[in-house]
A and B are shown apart, each in its own frame.
Chain A
């Protein structure tokens, strides 16, 4: 039966960068004791559950996707604007009258390219998010903006802390350093039992 307790955290998004036409879409939902990652591929949905008690870490890194889109959209818009300006000037001077064609093209390109450019910048920095448990590190492709990631993190952090407890950044660093210092190096040669005698491999 469908669960009323699930609350939408992210909208359905394609899992590829330029996969606008792709059928594969993912979304993230908040359950009572877990996060539910839905991967919809056309007519089937597959579910991955991340229980709050099992989540070890959430890793978010900023990506240059916003700049890439800015360059792509900005360059095309600038090129079309220049072409319209040059075309308009040449035609106006030659025919000695105002021509509306280049203006219409410019306005259309402003709508088709300028608006996405504006939205891309308003949404903020892009990011990639991963969730880690003891058995897997899973990418969350539906989280693509840092502001959105922070909002979701602020929402789920208290739930995870309620299930597991809390750790400060200093505690995490101290524990990780302790673990590193206690680990025997895998490259250290086995110690000889007595001088001059080769080590025995059991």
Chain B
């Protein structure tokens, strides 16, 4: 991306007069009041990619993935030697592409986690909505209880630790199951 700033409204290139001002300043073209805060990263050149060096001396450690290339760093996860080409640096740690992919897919590397399922919300919905159709609760209540116990220790979200939804869902599901149990007992007694 070029180090240029355009007006978010009219897309005209902005060159002066509107940057890092405390108050909204009108765009010279469309007049829309703008607050544009620019930081030095805009002018930072993109670092060129590294190329791996070939192994020059026999016995020198080589890359696990490219045996003819010189190893520069071990993988922080699996310990395999990596050349400069295979070295994936992330927050000061070095990973091989395989560990990086595994870490992302299994959620081991937190900084790469970009999706999460909210089982607490799902359990709460499953404990409330089926009440409208009543008979469905016979199926959904055990599912809610299973989900509550199964995912109780799992992280609820990246930012939230509250398990209130799980508690409400579990209590509602338990009440529904108790209701069904009482209903079947009463039904059994009336048939005798």
Q: Is the CB of A6 within 8 A of B118?
A: no
- Of the candidate stretches A53-61, A90-98, A194-202, the one touching chain B is A53-61
State whether B160 touches A44 (Cβ < 8 A). no
B16 and A53 contact, CB distance less than 8 A: no
Binds B, one of A78-86, A99-107, A168-176: A168-176
Report yes or no: A167 in contact with B39, Cβ–Cβ below 8 A.
yes
In residues 71-90 of chain B, which contact A (Cβ within 8 Å)? Answer: none
Total A-B pairs in contact (CB under 8 Å)? Answer: 149
- B38 CB–A CB distance under 8 Å: yes
Whether B131 is near chain A, meaning CB under 8 Å from some CB there, is no
**Chain A, Cβ-Cβ closest to B20:** A169
CB distance B39 to A45 under 8 Å?
A: no
- Contact of B38 with A167 in the complex, beta carbons under 8 Å: yes
Count of chain B residues near A, Cβ 8 A:
51
Interface flag for A189 (CB, 8 Å): no
Q: Which residues of chain A have C-beta atoms less than 8 A from B9's C-beta?
A: 61
Contact for B115 among A44, A134, A161, A180, CB less than 8 A: A44
How near does chain A come to B6, taking the closest CB pair, in angstroms?
Answer: 9
- Answer whether A36 and B16 are a contact pair too, CB < 8 Å, given A61-B8, A165-B40, A167-B38: no
When each residue 1-39 of chain A gets 1 if its CB lies under 8 Å from chain B and 0 otherwise, what string results? Answer: 111101010000000000000000000010000001010
Residue A121 at the chain B interface, CB threshold 8 Å:
no
Of A45, A61, A165, which is within 8 A of B118 by CB? A45
> Is B46 an interface position by the 8 A CB rule?
yes
User: Is the beta-carbon distance between B117 and A172 smaller than 8 angstroms?
Assistant: no
Which listed residue (B46, B110, B114) contacts A48, Cβ 8 A? B114
Contact A38 B159, CB 8 Å, known A60-B34, A173-B19: yes
Q: Choose, from A69-77, A110-118, A146-154, the stretch at the interface.
A: A146-154
- The reply to whether B15 and A2 form a contact with Cβ atoms under 8 Å apart is no
A161 to B40, alpha carbons, bound, how many Å? 9
Q: Is A89 an interface residue (CB 8 A)?
A: no
* List of B residues within 8 angstroms of A180 by Cβ: 4, 13, 15
Q: Check A130 against B161 for contact (C-beta < 8 Å).
A: no
Give B44 Cβ to nearest chain A Cβ, in Å: 8
Q: Does A67 contact B (CB under 8 A)?
A: no
Nearest residue, chain B, Cβ from A153? B37
A134 surroundings in chain B (CB, below 8 A): 1, 41, 44, 46
- Give the nearest-CB partner of B114 in chain A: A47
Point out the residues of chain B lying under 8 angstroms from A2, CB to CB: 155-161
List chain B positions with a Cβ less than 8 A from chain A: 1-5, 7-9, 13-21, 24, 32-44, 46, 110-111, 113-119, 121-122, 125, 155-161
6 smallest A-B Cβ distances: which pairs? A173-B16, A56-B42, A169-B20, A60-B35, A172-B19, A169-B19
Residues of A within 8 A of B (CB): 1-4, 6, 8, 29, 36, 38, 40, 42-49, 53-62, 128, 130, 132-135, 146, 149-150, 153, 157, 160-161, 164-169, 172-173, 175-177, 179-180
**Can you list 17 A-B contacts (CB < 8 A)?**
A2-B158, A8-B159, A44-B118, A47-B114, A57-B5, A59-B34, A60-B36, A130-B8, A149-B35, A153-B35, A169-B19, A172-B42, A173-B17, A175-B43, A177-B16, A180-B13, A180-B15
